[in-house]
Amino acid sequence: MIRAAAERGLVGVTIPKVWGGAGRDYVSYALAIEAIARASATVAAALSVNNSLVAELIAYAGREQQKEEWLRRLTSGDAHRGVRAFGAERRERCGQSTDDRSEGRRPISDRRPQGLDRER
């Protein structure tokens, strides 16, 4: 799906043409993502992450070496050979922290696997 979107110029909508993007404005980008989301929110989210969180950051703040290495791969949909992941962090809501420690959870490193509580 990502490669098909790339063939239609949707995997780098705001990225300059010199780097393989479509070189379009943000209104065009928003309209494209909205239209795609009507058919598949999953594909729209993947394209949005690729465009906004990764490719745009490299295009406008990256070093030339980073641009050379990543932008054409990202805008062609060929970045599956590289890293394509992101993490979401929960923020404080209504003055209460929602991090794991405030919910009584412990970091994975502090947990012991079930059944290994006793000394051997």
| Cα distances (Å, whole numbers) of residue 77 to 13, 15, 115, 118 | 12, 13, 45, 50
pTM for the full predicted model: 0.61
Report the alpha-carbon distance of residue 75 to residue 22 in Å, rounded: 9
Please write the tens of the pLDDT for every residue from 24-68.
999 999 999 999 999 999 999 989 988 888 899 999 999 999 998
Q: What share of the chain is helix, strand, coil (3-state, %, to 5)?
A: 55, 0, 45
Tokens standing for residue 57: 């950051």
Ordered by where they begin, the domains of the chain are 2-80 (1.10.540.10)
List Cα–Cα distances, 119 to 102, 107, 110, 112, 116, in angstroms: 29, 21, 16, 12, 8
Residues 58-71 have pLDDT tens digits of 999 999 999 988 89
